[in-house]
Amino acid sequence: MSKNIRLAKRVIATHTFTGEEFEAYHKAEKWVKDLGYSVGNMCGEEPTALMHGNYEWIAKWKNLTTEERNSVHGVIEGDKRKGPVTVMLFEL
């Protein structure tokens, strides 16, 4: 996890994607959506929150409360513009 977040969650899967000009991020986004996750709004260098299931809207990381951050089902971290990015999925 990045230095910005510390979640006491068990990581059940990780996957790193590479590519340039948002390619890595878009690959990661497609991968988690294919697994049934909803993707939160991107927030610069902050993680992108993931929730398993059909969520219409998930706020940017900076706008999530501590309780909401602790309830996410995964995150996408890394350099979203240049790559690489890593998906971490947490135990539900």
30 — phi, psi (to 5°)?
-65, -45
Rounded Cα–Cα distance for residues 67 and 14 (Å): 23
Is 50 among the domain residues?
yes
Is 2 among the domain residues?
no
With a pLDDT cut of 70, the percent of the chain lying above it is 92
Q: Identify which of 80, 55, 22 has the alpha carbon closest to the alpha carbon of residue 72.
A: 55
Supply the Cα-derived Rg of the chain in whole angstroms: 12
Is 33 among the domain residues?
yes
Is 1 among the domain residues?
no
Residues 6+ apart with CB under 8 A from 66: none
Q: What is the pLDDT of residue 9?
A: 84
Q: Supply the pTM of this predicted model.
A: 0.89
Is 17 among the domain residues?
yes
* Chain mean pLDDT for the chain: 92
Number of domains composing the chain? 1
Is 5 among the domain residues?
no
54 versus 44: the higher-pLDDT residue is 54
Is 82 among the domain residues?
yes
Q: What is the pLDDT of residue 3?
A: 45
Checking if the pLDDT of 12 tops 80, the result is yes
Checking if the pLDDT of 8 tops 60, the result is yes
Is 4 among the domain residues?
no
Coil/strand/helix, residue 48: strand
pLDDT bracket for residue 5 (50, 70, 90):
low
Q: What is the pLDDT of residue 6?
A: 59
Coil/strand/helix, residue 91: coil
Residue type, 50: L
Domain with 18 in it: 11-90
